[in-house]
Chains A and B, each alone.
Chain A
Amino acid sequence: MLRKLWCAAALAAAMQGAQAQSAFNPDLSLILQGTAAYSSQNPDDYRISGFAPSGGEVAPPRRGFSLGESELVVSSNIDPYFRGQLVAALTPDNTVEVEEAFFQTLQLGRGVTLKGGRFLSAIGYQNPIHQHAWDFQDAPLAYKAFLGGRWNDDGVQLKWIAPTDLLVELGGEAGRGRGFPASDPNKNGAGAWTLFGHVGGDLSTSTAWRAGLSYLNASPRDRSFEDGGITQSFSGKSRLWIADFVVKWAPDGNATTTNFKLQGEFFRRAETGDLTFNGMTGDYSSRQSGWYLQAVYQFMPRWRVGYRYDRLDHGTVSSGLTDAQAPLLLTDYNPTRNSAMVDWSLSEFSRIRLQLASDKSRAGVTDNQALLQVIFNLGAHGAHTF
């Protein structure tokens, strides 16, 4: 009897589903991705010269065919007061990674929102955007070098929107500090925290903009990596500033036929503390920076072209250890990269992209890359941030 009732309820729910998508169930969507890549250099040897390895997935995609991350997105209002979202990435090497799992308040009012869990931080412009929505297959070099690709910590975020016609958004986050540039300290309290502010508005019906300033503070302890059998580790303070902007243009604000997007971000990091290299310890301080500028133009329905220029500035790195004792980070080299892409979207739910890049991340070596990327979106119609 109970079983029958359950079946009837399930059937009713299924019928309901046909009327109003996901009437009571969470919105479900699945992103499928894949790449076919060519690199003139071995991606396994990828290093950004003169910058401490960030430990993230920063290498170019594997050569040949490979499956990209498949992302499963589940989101829903929990009750009138909270909303929840899970983004799980099924990686091609058969692991599951929780990219985001958070709740968000809906009813605090006065422009205040509290978020908690694991989420993509609101620092910078590209950081909170999921990989499948990026305009290039890979992250800008600055994101790779300073954040290991992105900052998604476990913690809380408090955000406030000012009651003005111009968007003024101020907020901060406190988290565990589970990834680079932090080192997942096993301690009570916050291992990393951020502050961010964004302003934005419309210049006209055709042009909208947003600009921001963000700060990330971390205190890594024994943040170490191995290179050629030698371990190097850093303990101290890491401070990162990001200035970002984006401008979007479309004739009369109608992006359907043609539109243009210009975005850029500037990163500056200062680290001070102690460096241990091959058993020797000395004081260490660095000031390094990086930036990128990219433009994407949709010149007709379905077709977009884009260009990105990346540059990292080695800046000043000084250490109590001599060059001979710790040669790795003292390489005075400024990595650069030029990338171009063209993509074709048959509908809002599918995209095929060709991307070419000349990557000079490694001192003295040019890595010429070409890749074909496919992105498919199954299920609920996603909403993308500006």
Chain B
Amino acid sequence: MRILFSLLLYGVAVPAFAALNIFACEPEWGALARELGGDKASVYVASTALQDPHRIEARPSLIARARSADLAICTGAELEIGWMPLVQTQSGNGKIQVGQPGWFEAASVVPLLEKPERVDRSMGDVHPAGNPHIHLDPRNIERVAAALGERMASLDQPNAGSYSERTKSFLERWRAARARWEKEAAPLKGMPLVVYHKNMTYLIVWLGMREVGNLEPKPGLPPTTAHLADLLARLAKDPAKAIVRSAYNDPRPGEWLAARAKIPSLTLPFTVGGTDKAQDLFGLYDDSIARLLAAAR
């Protein structure tokens, strides 16, 4: 009977009451929204660190959650093009449609790197607007936090004071942390890395590291043995310190190459929840830098 009752409850459970109902496409924006929203916001995160943000499906649960959102926070720059447009149109929620105040694209307030000069699918699944994996440069987090804080305040005016206060406090703590990270990560300067996908670019540029190869033959295409063998030959001439993958990438191609090139294969959390220590944005950076430093030694 109790089971039946809780099943019934599950079926009709209406999203918890909070001033601002937020639908975050990726864990990093969910974590940021929690930092800025505190108890004024109820945050639902559509994907986890173990899932490839390009390849989420427009699942029933996502449509149901998007239905009641006041604000959807996504990366934009076509990262979610395979699923978010569908979630938006199917949700029947006018607030989160493109162009509405309830639609926030983080990439729109950040200068994007690697904007292709020419867009052609022979180059793989490239994003015409530039590389969308912006959240691993803490200066981008600052830019997004400032814009998002304002957006949350304008959408929920009775609590505007709380959002701007929390944003201010977050930015202060964040800038202090950034200064610390930049100091700690000084030994990483110039460190050559092989990455799985071009999703570490912003981190590499921020810390002055060097990307010497990709496990993917073209963006979005799974690694092939031919390409890995080619990469191995190149590494003999231009060696890398480590192979990095994000928590959601298949570990096997990196391990294969690592064993032959005799360099460590490293897993970075990539986003909040990717490792045990990356439980919030601060933890994400702490753990990423600690892991890179360990490999650099």
Contacts and interface: CB of A to CB of B under 8 A. Distances in A.
Interface of A: 18-21, 77, 80, 83, 104, 106-113, 159-169, 198-202, 205, 208-210, 248, 252-257, 301-302, 346-349, 378, 381-386
Given A80-B97, A166-B10, A254-B50, A385 B61 contact: no
Contacts of A77: 97-99
Interface stretch (B29-37, B84-92, B177-185): B84-92
A347 B124 contact: yes
B97 A161 contact: no
A348 B67 contact: no
B94 A167 contact: no
A113 B58 contact: no
Closest 4 CB pairs of A and B: A200-B60, A167-B60, A301-B222, A107-B94
Given A77-B98, A254-B52, A383-B86, A111 B60 contact: no
A256 B61 contact: no
B278 to A, nearest CB: 16
B43 interface: no
Given A201-B64, A383-B81, A255 B55 contact: yes
B290 interface: no
B89 A111 contact: no
A385 B67 contact: no
Majority-rule SS of B interface residues: loop
A20 B63 contact: no
Contacts of B82: 348, 381-384
A107 B96 CA distance: 9
A161 B221 contact: no
B92 A112 contact: yes
A302 B94 contact: no
Given A19-B115, A164-B64, A348-B82, 5 more contacts: A83-B89, A165-B15, A252-B51, A381-B81, A383-B81
B121 interface: yes
Given A108-B94, A348-B125, A381-B81, A208 B61 contact: yes
A208 B115 contact: no
Interface in B59-110: 59-61, 63-65, 67-68, 78, 81-86, 89-95, 97-100
Contacts of B57: 208, 248, 255, 384, 386
Contacts of B64: 161-162, 164-168, 200-201
B205 interface: no
B162 interface: no
A293 B89 CA distance: 29
Nearest to B13: A165
Contacts, number: 158
Contacts of A385: 58, 86, 90
A77 B95 CA distance: 15
B264 interface: no
B269 to A, nearest CB: 14
Contacts of B67: 111, 161-163
Contacts of B55: 254-256
Nearest to B115: A19
A205 B62 CA distance: 12
Contacts of B125: 347-348, 381
Contacts of A349: 121
B129 interface: yes
Contact of B51 (A166, A254, A381): A254
A168 B85 CA distance: 19
Contact of A113 (B11, B15, B47, B90): B90
Interface in B147-199: none
29 contacts: A18-B117, A18-B119, A77-B97, A80-B97, A113-B89, A113-B92, A161-B63, A163-B67, A168-B64, A198-B60, A201-B61, A205-B50, A248-B57, A248-B59, A252-B48, A252-B50, A253-B48, A253-B50, A253-B51, A254-B51, A256-B52, A301-B222, A347-B121, A347-B124, A348-B82, A378-B121, A383-B86, A384-B58, A386-B59
